[in-house]
Structure 1
Amino acid sequence: MSLSRSALMNVHLPYMVQYPEETDYSTAMKHAAEGYDHARQMIAFLFDILDYESSVPQKFTPEEKKAKYTWNHSDNFPPHLAIIPEDIDVPSYKIFSIVRLVQTLLIVSGIQFDEGLAPGPQQNTMEKLAEWNAERHRSQGWIKDMFNEPNIGLRNDWYTDAVFAQQFFTGPNPTTITLASDMWMKAFIEEAASQAKQEVIALFRSALPNSFYVQDFSDFRGRMGARPDEELCSEDSTRYGCASVALFYLPPNGKLHPLAIIPDYKGSMAASITLFNKRVDPADQSVDQANDWPWRYAKTCVLSADWALHEMIIHLNNTHLVEEAVIVAVQRTLPDSHIVFRLLEPHWVVTLSLNALARSVLVPDVIVPIAGFSAPRIFQFVGHAFTNFDWKALYVPTDLESRGFPLDRLDDDKFHNYAYAKNIKDMWTTLRKFVSSVLRDRQYYLDDCAVATDAHIQDWCDEMRSGKGAGMKNFPKSISTLDDLIDMVTMCIHIAAPQHTAVNYLQQYYQTFVPNKPSALFSPLPQSLSQLESYTESDLMAALPLQARQEWLLMAQIPYLLSRQVEQDGNIVTYATSASNNKDPIIAAAGKELSADLDILAGVFLKNSEKLDDQNTAYNVLAPDQLANAIVI
């Protein structure tokens, strides 16, 4: 049976929608009409993105690449493609699971396709929430939903210090934990002395050098353009954000342990609250972790701040938006026959179409409505990250070293739980070897001089840096050596393939169970240490969106939408096989080597996962057969 746009628009949608009870009939009808119109708009949008009876006029640019790929500088987002050319536009049903997409649009519309997807008033304790989550997972029907796959809430120990800490090594954002600076060490030592935390002070004195790390969100206000003491919240003050800082101890045995948390850093330790963990020794069994509510609240603040950094910067900006800038700039400056273009193009696939959907729907209709910050703060946050994206500093070897993870020591027992670092280092080395094998062939570049005199490469640099182009001031002014070119091409592939895979495909597991990583807090943050120390379970429950059903559903559904398993024809193994059959014998030879190297890495990554202390969750997101070749979702 064929279902047309007009037929579907005549479906009596109000019967699918749940409305609050109203004593006034006219008010109730007004709510019904608004809900009906909203639902009709979302279904119309669904047809548009499916490219089915589309109501969006198709506009096509001229054949020349600079006219075809033009920049848009006129909206809240960083520079991006103005119009997607028809020949590369991909409808969303080829990007997303259609079932997951429809479910998401229904939630955004306010239509409740399943009443049981969010907890009710009876789930008013953490224990009851965990029980509800487990039951929801067990009772999957023939139409799957966000609880089809396992999530962290199914673990009996999901709230513990060990599980909390390990997320910064192998969770959806394992990219920002950093060796504590002298400034942070001095600040925490002084604060421990001020609070007379003798056991903590003793640990600071006895620990080996380079044993303390931080997850640092203290710069949120500065990057968002807020005052140091400004309350971070949504426009309607129903959701709250925080600029947390967490201090961890990493002993020689590699068991990362949280020591102290600043729930919301306001420019200085004196203006902020610092809570120390009662369990200084991770082996201490005297503290009931399940009922240490002040500490559990503080950890929730950290994970909520990490949600903001991950979703808006590490995931959205540092992969999707940055890669789009590369695509547009390369299309505008490099001919299709150029070897750099030929190396990069297979890693673009659906990225431009996907990003257009993110700008039109995902960010304004999902991220902004569930985040703990106002829309202007969010857009400034993203824009700042884009403009200041530091390309060379984020090359994998440089990044790991600068964050306190020496490349020559990653095999030490101290770092055995940081599987992301070990895997991403090896994948970078493997991809760089592939790129080097091609670019170093004399057919393409005889020497450094050949790179320095390549006008197309210089045009690419200019396009990436220019205010009329991408406006990325930290892209190199010039690329004048073969090593520099190899590094940059490797970086562009790294962002599209392993880096995006690492920060995208674990979202469903860690975020569908909302209490583990809420997008915002739903009550104001404590204003004093004594207030925080008096917190009970009810205070933590009040910080969760239990009374905000749509926000809860979006927090849980979006990770499910974005975590669809990589198809075999879209993984890096298939790409290597395709490269090995390339008509260009140079690429073909390099592709054969890449295939062999990926086979080796599959075994290495499996061993890295088996070495983790926590065997409840294998870290296989970067396994070659699961690693997407491009930003495809």
Structure 2
Amino acid sequence: MEKEKEIVFPCYCWLQGDGIICLPEATAWMKRNDVLGLFQKHQEEELEERRTLYRWATWKNGMPLTVDAASAKDLPLDVRFHEEKKIDFNGSQVAGVMEIALKRLSTLLSSWNNLEDFDKIFWNKSALAKRVQQYWKDDAFFGYQFLNGINPTLLRRSTSLPTRLVIPPGIEGLQVQLEKKLQEGCLFEVDFSLLDGIQANVIQGERQYLAVPLVMLKMEPDGKLLPIVIQLQPPCPGSPVPPLFLPSDPSLTWLLAKAWVKNSDFQLHELQVHLLKTHLVAEVFAVATMRCLPGIHPIFKLLVPHIRYTMEINTRARTALISDGGVFDQAINTGGGGHLDVLRRATNSLTYRSLCPPYDLADRGLLGIQSYLYAQDALRLWDIIFRYVQGIVHLHYSEDKVVQNDPEIQAWCREITEIGLCGAQEQGFPVSFQSRAELCHFVTMCIFTCTAQHSAVNKGQLDWYAWVPNAPCTMRQPPPTTKDVTLEMVMATLPNVYQSCIQMAIVWLLSRNQPDMVPLGHHKEQYFSGPGPKAVLRHFQEDLATLEREIVARNEGLDLPYYYLQPSQIENSVTI
């Protein structure tokens, strides 16, 4: 007797009331397959209902659109936290209790007396955080963070000396050194000009301060990246040339200059690299997917595991983290409105290429650097995700013309670029797909952004930010204009006790392990049926397992392991 074929009707949604639920069979379908129009009415009704549930909203002008929800309670149940996640997140009242305890400490002290005092709040520490505390003053450790720290996306290889770098009389040898390193191809730079002109915060009645650093670095033959010179402010016409800070300066002078760089790095990491280029962009993908792709569409089935919880975590961020009176306003020197201006500038400069590691790393001149572990792992993951996407796409799109003639996938593309990203076609984002290759590349970018990239710039916050002097969230005195720096000046500049407590509490909250974490590629929901898609997913999981073994083996031989892009550590979506 012939074995009966199993037919699966997946229902991964909340059921409410006594209405009728329509569940299509799990096989992915597109309009071109539906020659008899069996699914057309269902798809149209589904998308019409979804568009009323998932509406676009403008949170702030000049930024990507968001889901229309004033609070998490306004979101549809299907994209809300599940009970375990909600209990854990709300139980970050544990973090609240911790913060209260720390604030009690802050009533005893308003400012630290010396650098060692920061150890009084350094109790939620990882093994790497302990290394940071031990080595944060070292130049090689400072440079390493631009390669493999929490923000490995700002470094670029220099192709010429920056025009803003004006070398004052008396240190002409620096010009010769920089030009020599430039000719050798081992001169690098990190420029924080995005912060130029941003208004600094006022916290508890006290003015905070911002710098606009430029740091030039050299790559040694052994892969170490060492700072050569730091300029804290760009030159202003008619004003004295700002001083350049050098490794040969007095130790406290050089340490304070590096602290200013790390403060600026903190701002761009949290606002441009983390919030905008993972959270907000992922939310655009999520809302557009729910509005444009019916549940039986293959690209919906491919993407839906990677948008889990994203709308709720972002809605919560907009009501607590970056809201009026939120964490940025309370403790960070771009708060009080400056953070919104940084986000607007970052949105204006956001490009499609910057979200795609093969392009981004090439544009920054950083391909092939052996000590750049983030880049090595990111490129491997990009290729693995691309093969996964390609496998699914090629099962359902036999040729480029099928992509061109798919109205739903074309509408999804336009919705992301023209609506969610507010007309980003001028920044390289597509408004249509003309080939399977273009579709595969774009979907790979979506999944990589929602998974690997978010892990790379989120998971290590406790590692790198728990020791506050390594990455101060705010600065309470202006940048130095001379090289006469004392310990009292350093301590008066770094965050006070209250601000340090908030920094410690928030980085613990944002980077702790999640109780219902789903590793990349291992979601339990089976959106596809049939042997073809299941084989593609199995190959994806095998590729990830191979990379996992390779990274673990590599890390065993490293003094400082890099594990943020280890597949087992990567969440399947933006959930925190």
* TM-score when normalising by structure 1: 0.75
Residue number in structure 2 paired with 1:587:
533
| Superposed CA offset, 1:584-611 (max 9, x none) | 3222111111121112111222344356
Residue number in structure 2 paired with 1:437:
391
| Superposed CA offset, 1:325-372 (max 9, x none) | 111112111111111111110011111111000001111210232221
Conserved 8 A contact 1:566-1:627: no
Shift of 1:270: 6.9
Residue number in structure 1 paired with 2:479:
525
Residue number in structure 1 paired with 2:151:
173
| Superposed CA offset, 1:69-107 (max 9, x none) | 101125466410013113322268615845861144457
Task: Give matches, 1:113-512, under 5 Å.
Answer: 115-116=104-105, 120=109, 123-130=112-119, 132=120, 137=123, 146-147=124-125, 151-152=129-130, 155-184=133-162, 188=165, 191=167, 194-198=169-173, 201-202=176-177, 204-205=179-180, 208-221=183-196, 226=197, 232-234=200-202, 236=205, 238-265=207-234, 273-279=242-248, 292-364=251-323, 365-406=326-367, 410=368, 415-441=369-395, 444-467=396-419, 470-473=422-425, 474=427, 475-512=429-466
Task: Please say if 1:630 is aligned against 2:566.
Answer: no
Conserved 8 A contact 1:333-1:460: yes
Residue number in structure 2 paired with 1:619:
562
Shift of 1:424: 0.4
Task: Please say if 1:535 is aligned against 2:535.
Answer: no
| Superposed CA offset, 1:483-523 (max 9, x none) | 11001000000011000000001000111111110111011
Between the two structures, name the one with larger relative contact order (CA 8 Å, sep ≥ 6).
2
Which sections of structure 2, spanning at least 5 residues, go unmatched?
1-45, 70-74
Residue number in structure 1 paired with 2:520:
572
Conserved 8 A contact 2:564-2:570: yes
Shift of 1:66: 1.1
Paired positions, count: 520
| Superposed CA offset, 1:361-406 (max 9, x none) | 1112102322213533321221332354212343110001111112
Shift of 1:269: 11
Q: 1:79 aligns with which of 65, 74, 97?
A: 65
Shift of 1:203: 5.6
**Counterpart amino acid of residue 148 in structure 2:** T
Task: Give matches, 1:50-69, under 5 Å.
Answer: 64-69=49-54
Q: Secondary structure at the match of 2:134?
A: coil
Could you say what the CA RMSD is over the residues aligned between the two structures, in angstroms? 3.0
**Counterpart amino acid of residue 305 in structure 2:** P
Conserved 8 A contact 2:156-2:190: yes
Conserved 8 A contact 2:145-2:151: yes
Q: 1:606 aligns with which of 541, 552, 558?
A: 552
Task: Please say if 1:90 is aligned against 2:81.
Answer: yes
| Superposed CA offset, 1:429-472 (max 9, x none) | 1000110111112xx11111111121112211221233587544
Distance verdict in 2 for CA 1:391–1:369, change over 3 Å? same
Measured in 2, the distance between the counterparts of 1:421 and 1:117 equals 40
Measured in 2, the distance between the counterparts of 1:620 and 1:118 equals 38
Measured in 1, the distance between the counterparts of 2:52 and 2:350 equals 26
Which sections of structure 1, spanning at least 5 residues, go unmatched?
1-60, 138-145, 280-286
| Superposed CA offset, 1:25-51 (max 9, x none) | xxxxxxxxxxxxxxxxxxxxxxxxxxx
Q: Secondary structure at the match of 2:92?
A: helix
